[in-house]
Amino acid sequence: MQAKPARHSVDLSAYPDLVVIYLGFRVTRWRGLLTLLGLAPGIRGVARDRPDGLLAHENVLFGLNHVGMRQYWRDLPSLERFTRSAPHSGWWRDFLRDTGGSGFWHETYSRAGMEAIYVAMPEPTGFGLFAPARRPEGPFLSARARLAA
């Protein structure tokens, strides 16, 4: 007789403000490979150096031209501090100026709510597969505002 597989769960009570974020990068043109290779060392550095508030980082493969990561953050203020500081703020500014043959998206999940942003994605993914599109402008521009909406 086969033994029952071990079952485990986790106690998240020490993380009442936990934020989970999925980030995806999709190569849409050959040039996008160069863009991805240019970002890879910095992303590896973030995973290695763990900025304050980053609890865990995992790489994810969505497809041959679609890679990403899942990150667990202690709270939204920690995630926001990271995104507003170097190197992330520079990556984001540069990407919005020129997507380099690629698309990017993130989806954030927390007790406060869920939110997403999609930039230069060739087709819907994630929430975009079923939820109506909305332009990220005005009070809907920031992740914090989208979480509250």
Write the CATH number for 60. Answer: 3.30.70.100
- The alpha carbon of residue 34 and the mean position of all alpha carbons in its chain are separated, in whole angstroms, by 20
Residue 149 pLDDT: 76
* Percent of the chain predicted with pLDDT > 70: 100
> Does 130 reside within a domain?
yes
Q: What is the pLDDT of residues 105-129, one digit of tens each?
A: 999 999 989 999 999 999 999 999 9
Q: Indicate the number of domains in the chain.
A: 1
> Does 3 reside within a domain?
no
> Does 111 reside within a domain?
yes
> Does 13 reside within a domain?
no
> Does 28 reside within a domain?
yes
Span 4-14, mean pLDDT?
A: 95
Q: What is the arrangement of strands in the sheet containing 66-73, beginning at the earlier edge strand?
A: 54-63, 66-73, 19-27, 102-110, 113-119
> Does 6 reside within a domain?
no
> Does 9 reside within a domain?
no
Q: What is the pLDDT of residues 38-83, one digit of tens each?
A: 989 989 999 999 999 999 999 999 999 999 999 999 999 999 999 9
CB 105 within 8 A of CB 76: no
> Does 47 reside within a domain?
yes
Closest by CA to 23, choosing from 96, 126, 111, is 126
The mean predicted confidence, pLDDT, of the chain is 94
Residue 26 pLDDT: 97
pTM given for the model = 0.91
Bond prior to 87 in cis (omega within 30° of 0): yes
Residue 1 pLDDT: 82
Domain that holds residue 114: 19-148
Residue 139 pLDDT: 83
One-letter amino acid identity for 113? G
Q: H or E element: which one contains 20?
A: strand 19-27
- Indicate if the pLDDT at residue 29 is higher than 90: yes
